[in-house]
């Protein structure tokens, strides 16, 4: 028996056939009355031609999440098979790692569902109504496939506001949500129920390691959080100044540094933007600088303000660079494209009257792949630059 059919405009039908997994409410031309949140539906164009199967959302601006272009059931068997393939890909990609993203939403053909694994404990996010409606079912499958000993839902971010879902965080399975994990040889600790995001910033893990390989001399890590960059820098640098306005995060950086025997890390609880200005006014110079701020723009209307903030911190950082110094500058604002971010860096170099060489242009780690044809899934930019 077929599920109910939702009809979409011809324009949106073409985009869905091309592989885009989102259909906005304004593109729906007809839907059966009484559809519940997360209901499985067939999607057809205005000529009644089948397009795909997906899940219906009652409140979200994205009315439909496309899961399959085959006209077959979106049942537990299909969901578990996709989850298992995603997990096996990560295990093959990172055979020695004890922390990685298991499921990256749209890229793993489970749009709006994300799962990170830290030392055998999973943190998940439900950023779509279909995933919200299947929270317990998905957690059970995740435990069966990954052997996670606990699962915590971190549904307390602003992305839930867009979906018109309530913010909340809480356990789905197990009781202990403090985890230890490694980035290379550096040991880290995280509280998956209380810390930011899903606990850590696994999308930067490979960039942390790369920055550590290139670091030298006096180093500055602005917006340090738990020290993901700072601790890697400290393995090569003579001294690292790590700054974050979150006092609890700074304390975790200190604890992580001590745990790893890194006595050359100085962590300060201070507003990073103000700290950059003060260091510039003092005439300080650093051989290695990392800028990894939180998302300055989460919505389209925030882009101009975000660009001003990015210009300010990058201008200060370029002025603080010693000759031959390395700058690693990042943006996780999806609304700030790679081209826009490149313009910010070029402006900062011009204003500071310092030429910069672009050594590497990087993004999120390989366990956070974007989906080709869906630019919204490519959000993280990391430029590695040298001041000759």
- C-alpha of 271 from chain center: 22
Q: Which of 273, 277, 355, 344 is nearest to 311 (CA)?
A: 344
- List, in order, residues 6 or more apart from 316 with CB less than 8 Å away: 276, 277, 279, 280
Structure tokens at 249: 């995060």
Return the active site residues: 332
Q: Judging by beta carbons within 10 Å of its beta carbon (0-12, 13-18, 19+), is residue 212 exposed, middle or buried?
A: buried
Contact present, 202 and 228 (Cβ < 8 Å):
no
What CA–CA distance (Å, rounded) separates 29 from 25?
A: 9
For residue 59, the SS3 value is: coil
Other C-beta atoms closer than 10 Å to the C-beta of 196 total: 17
Handedness of CA 23, 24, 26, 29 (dihedral sign): positive
Ordered strands of the 218-222 beta sheet: 265-269, 239-244, 218-222, 286-291, 321-331, 381-386, 357-362
* Nearest-5° Cα angle at 204, 329 to 152: 140
- List, in order, residues 6 or more apart from 79 with CB less than 8 Å away: 110, 134, 137, 138, 141
């Amino acid at each position: 028996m077929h599920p109910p059919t939702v009809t979409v405009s011809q324009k949106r039908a073409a985009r869905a056939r091309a592989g885009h997994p989102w259909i906005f409410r304004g593109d729906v031309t007809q839907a059966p009355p009484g559809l519940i949140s997360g209901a499985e539906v067939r999607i057809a164009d205005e000529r009644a031609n089948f397009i795909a199967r997906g899940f219906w959302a009652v409140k979200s601006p994205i009315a439909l999440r496309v899961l399959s272009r085959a006209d077959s059931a979106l049942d537990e068997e299909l969901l578990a098979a996709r989850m298992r393939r995603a997990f096996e890909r990560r295990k093959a990609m990172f055979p020695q790692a004890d922390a990685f993203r298991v499921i990256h939403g749209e890229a793993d053909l489970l749009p709006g569902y994300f799962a990170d694994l830290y030392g055998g404990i999973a943190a998940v996010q439900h950023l779509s109504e279909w995933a919200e409606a299947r929270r317990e079912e998905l957690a059970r499958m995740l435990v069966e496939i990954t052997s996670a000993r606990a699962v915590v839902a971190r549904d307390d971010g602003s992305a839930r506001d867009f979906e018109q879902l309530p913010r909340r965080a809480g356990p789905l399975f197990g009781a202990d949500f403090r985890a230890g994990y490694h980035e290379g040889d550096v040991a880290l600790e995280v509280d998956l129920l209380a810390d930011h995001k899903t606990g850590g910033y696994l999308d930067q893990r490979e960039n942390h390691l790369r920055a550590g390989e290139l670091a030298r001399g006096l180093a500055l890590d602005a917006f340090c959080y738990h020290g993901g960059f700072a601790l890697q820098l400290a393995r090569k640098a003579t001294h690292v100044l790590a700054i974050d306005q979150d006092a609890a995060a700074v304390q975790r950086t200190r604890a992580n540094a001590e745990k790893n025997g890194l006595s050359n890390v100085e962590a300060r609880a201070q507003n990073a933007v103000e700290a950059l200005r003060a260091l510039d006014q003092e005439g300080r110079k650093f051989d290695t600088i990392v800028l990894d701020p939180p998302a300055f723009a989460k919505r389209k209307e925030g882009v101009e303000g975000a660009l001003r903030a990015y210009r300010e911190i990058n201008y200060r950082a370029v002025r603080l660079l010693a000759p031959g110094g390395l700058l690693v500058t990042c943006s996780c604002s999806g609304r700030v494209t790679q081209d826009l971010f490149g313009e910010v860096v070029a402006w900062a170099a011009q204003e500071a009257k310092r030429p910069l060489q672009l050594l590497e242009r990087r993004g999120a780690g390989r366990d956070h792949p974007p989906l080709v044809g869906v630019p919204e899934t490519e959000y993280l930019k990391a430029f590695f630059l040298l001041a000759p």
